[in-house]
Amino acid sequence: MKVFGITGHSGMGKTTLLERLIPELQQRGLRVSLIKHSHKNIDIDHPGKDSYRLREAGCQEVLLMGNRRWALMHELTEQAEPSLAYLLTRLHDCDLVLIEGFKSEQFPKLEVWRPSIGRSQLGADWPGIKAIASDAEVTNAIFPVLDLSDISTIADFVVQHASEFAE
Q: What is the pLDDT of residues 68-103, one digit of tens each?
A: 988 888 888 778 888 899 899 999 999 999 999 888
Rounded (10°) angle between helices 151-161 and 14-27: 80
Q: Could you give the domains of the chain?
A: 2-40+80-164 (3.40.50.300)
Q: How confident is the model at residue 50 (pLDDT cuts 50, 70, 90)?
A: confident
Q: How confident is the model at residue 124 (pLDDT cuts 50, 70, 90)?
A: confident
| Mean pLDDT within 146-161 | 98
- C-beta separation of 32 from 96 below 8 A: yes
Helix (H, G, I), strand (E, B) or coil at 36: strand
Q: Are strands 32-36 and 61-65 parallel, antiparallel or unpaired?
A: unpaired
- C-beta separation of 38 from 45 below 8 A: no
Q: How confident is the model at residue 56 (pLDDT cuts 50, 70, 90)?
A: confident
User: What pLDDT is stored for residue 53 in this prediction?
Assistant: 81
User: What pLDDT is stored for residue 42 in this prediction?
Assistant: 64
User: What pLDDT is stored for residue 74 in this prediction?
Assistant: 83
Q: Point out the least confidently predicted range of 21-25, 68-72, 77-81, 149-153.
A: 77-81
CB under 8 Å to 115, separation ≥6 — which residues?
134, 136, 138
Above pLDDT 90, what percent of the chain?
57
- Provide the mean pLDDT of the chain: 89
Above pLDDT 70, what percent of the chain?
96
pTM of the complete model: 0.88
Query: 98: closest CA among 29, 4, 2?
Result: 4
Instruction: Count other C-beta atoms under 10 Å from residue 36's C-beta.
Output: 14
